[in-house]
Amino acid sequence: MTDRRRKTLAPADVLGAEPMWPKEARDWEKLVGDSEVIYEDRHVVVFHDPVDEAHESQRAPGEIRLTLLSKKAGVDTLMDLGVADETLNAAILHGIQQAAYRLDLQTKGFEVRAHIYPPLQHRPAVAFKIRAGKPPKKSADLG
The tens digit of pLDDT for each residue in 19-75 reads: 555 556 677 888 888 999 999 999 999 999 887 777 788 888 889 999 999 999 888
Burial code (b: 16+ CB inside 10 Å, e: under 16) for 22-56 equals: eeeeeebeebbeeeeebbbeebbbbbebeeeeeee
CATH fold of 25-132, please? HIT family, subunit A (3.30.428)
**What does the pLDDT look like over 84-111, one tens digit per residue?**
999 999 999 999 999 999 999 999 999 9
Q: Tell me the C-alpha distance between 105 and 97, whole Å.
A: 9
Residue 9 binned pLDDT confidence (cut-offs 50, 70, 90) = low
* pTM for this prediction: 0.74
Those residues whose C-beta lies under 8 Å from the C-beta of residue 94, and which sit 6 or more positions away, are 41, 44
Domains in the chain: boundaries:
25-132
